[in-house]
Amino acid sequence: MAEEKKLFKVTIDNITIDVEPGTSILNAARMIGGDVAPPAMCYYSKLKGSGGKCRTCLVEVAAGSTADPRPMPKLVASCRTNVMDGMVVKNITSERVIDARAGVVEFLLLNHPLDCPICDQAGECHLQDLGYDHGKEGTRYEFGRRTFHKHDLGPYIQLHMTRCILCYRCVFTADQLTNKRVHGVLDRGDHAEIATYIEKSLDNDFIGNVIDVCPVGALTDKTFRFKNRVWFLKPVDAHRDCPKCSGKVTLWNRGDEVYRVTARKDQWGEVEDWICNECRFDKKLTSDWVIEGPTKVSRQSVISQGHYVGVKRPKETLGEVLEGRKPRLLMDIHDVSEVNKPNIELSKIAGPAHSDDFSKK
């Protein structure tokens, strides 16, 4: 008789699901999806040992398990805490979590240069998304921001240490994907930095993946530097026969021109298959690749703005979180205001809406 696997029942923000023992709270929440999934800036499912550092994924455990229903006194990092049977977790339904998370976002942005206008990561930066979703409008920090002595990581990878959030993902990548790690963290505390020891450049077939795992613009593609804005490019899935890696990539095109090659990423922004440096940096002709079709882009992403093919609607969990109650619309602007002429359907206007379209005449 096949032994039936016992599943654990876990309730996150009032939504209950069954997951296998050994699943982290974060991954359980991701199975539910939508807003219930905590933001994760350092955890990366493909990198062993990652997570626990950024503290954006903190959640409240309101009941430890059926066997021991006591709440956990501190908020826990959901990426590094496994579910127990009967656990009750509060993420967006916990005031404590929202407060602590706003604190973490503020800490992460404290020394960040906010140089998005000149940053190649803008538009696909997880810190931008995080700040937008969970941060406050302003900062209370009145001091000069941190600067670093510049390190050159070689011809392919650009390091902007000032933007780094020290998630350690690139260190794990260098450690786990390449055979000789020369990349790591030097110094400690708020003066800790990602670098190579004594200015060694990174020359390894798979080191380019550090660019894809970096949630911010600290590690970017030098061959794409300042070439274009990601939201002006169309991502298409493509592949080639590569002796070193899977050869499955996303090309970032404008017209027929390949501007950039990255690994394919899933809905959590994680690389699906690691790719080699040759695919990433040296194959920049359409003829190098077999095109499969447009990449599916999350509707939330700014990249979807120029590219409505293959856009996926994110899952809407609010109804369930509120246990069937409808979110209370405080004010429907269309009901009370005629300013925007509700009879005008934006989608029917040719080109972007203009003040002429709403003229009072």
Partner 1 sequence: MGRKLLLEKAHVEGIRTYDVYRREGGYASVEKALKNMSPDQVTEEVKKSGLRGRGGAGFPTGMKWSFLAKPEGVPRYLVCNADESEPGTFKDRYLMEFIPHLLIEGLIVASYALGSSRTYIYIRGEYAWIPDILEQAIAEANANGWLGKNILGTGFDCQIYVQRGAGAYICGEETALIESLEGKRGNPRIKPPFPAVKGLWDCPTVVNNVETLAAVVPIINLGGEEYVKIGVGKSTGTKLISACGNINKPGVYEIDMTISVEEFIYSDEYCGGVPNGKKLKACIPGGSSVPILPANLLFKTAKGDTRMMNYESLSDGGFATGTMMGSGGFIVLDEDQCVVRHTLTLARFYRHESCGQCSPCREGTGWMEKILKNIEYGKGKMSDIDLLWDIQRKIEGNTICPLGDAAAWPVAAAIRHFRDEFEWHVLNPVESQQRNFGLAHYADPRPVPATA
- The nearer residue to ligand SF4, 43 or 168, going by C-beta atoms, is 168
**218 lies in the binding site for partner 1 (CB under 8 A):** no
**216 lies in the binding site for ligand SF4 (CB under 6 A):** yes
- The nearer residue to ligand SF4, 167 or 238, going by C-beta atoms, is 167
| Termini Cα distance of the chain | 79
Q: How many other CB atoms are found less than 10 A from the CB of residue 253?
A: 19
* Distance of closest approach, residue 142 Cβ to ligand SF4, in angstroms: 23
Of 271, 251, 301, the C-alpha closest to 210 is 271
**159 lies in the binding site for ligand FES (CB under 6 A):** no
The single residue among 9, 55, 151, 227 that binds partner 1, judged by CB under 8 A, is 55
What is the contact mask toward partner 1 in residues 142 to 181, using x (rule: CB under 8 A)? -x---------------------xx-x-------------
**231 CB-contact burial (10 Å; exposed 0-12 / middle 13-18 / buried 19+):** middle
The single residue among 32, 37, 77, 119 that binds ligand FES, judged by CB under 6 A, is 77
**54 lies in the binding site for ligand FES (CB under 6 A):** yes
The single residue among 97, 100, 182, 218 that binds ligand SF4, judged by CB under 6 A, is 218
Q: Which stretch binds ligand FES (CB under 6 A): 47-55, 108-116, 144-152, 220-228?
A: 47-55
Query: How many residues form the binding site for ligand SF4 (CB under 6 A)?
Result: 14
CA-angle at 51, arms to 49 and 52, nearest 5°: 115
> Which residues, other chains included, contact 104 with Cβ-Cβ below 8 Å and sequence gap of 6+?
54, 55, 56, 58
Total residues belonging to the chain: 361
Tally of CA atoms within 13 A in the half-sphere of 204 that contains its CB: 20
Of 139, 116, 113, 111, the C-alpha closest to 126 is 116
Q: Which stretch binds partner 1 (CB under 8 A): 32-40, 108-116, 279-287, 321-329?
A: 108-116
The tokens describing 153, both together, are: 């990581």
- The nearer residue to ligand FES, 42 or 89, going by C-beta atoms, is 42
* Distance of closest approach, residue 217 Cβ to ligand FES, in angstroms: 18
- Kindly report the three-state secondary structure assignment for every residue of 148-163: CCCCCCCCCEEECHHH
CA 277 to chain centre: 22
Site for ligand SF4 in 186-215 (CB under 6 A): 194, 213-215
CB 75 within 8 A of CB 100: yes
Q: Note the residues at the interface with ligand SF4 (CB under 6 A).
A: 164-170, 194, 213-216, 218-219
Q: Note the residues at the interface with ligand FES (CB under 6 A).
A: 40-43, 51-57, 77, 79
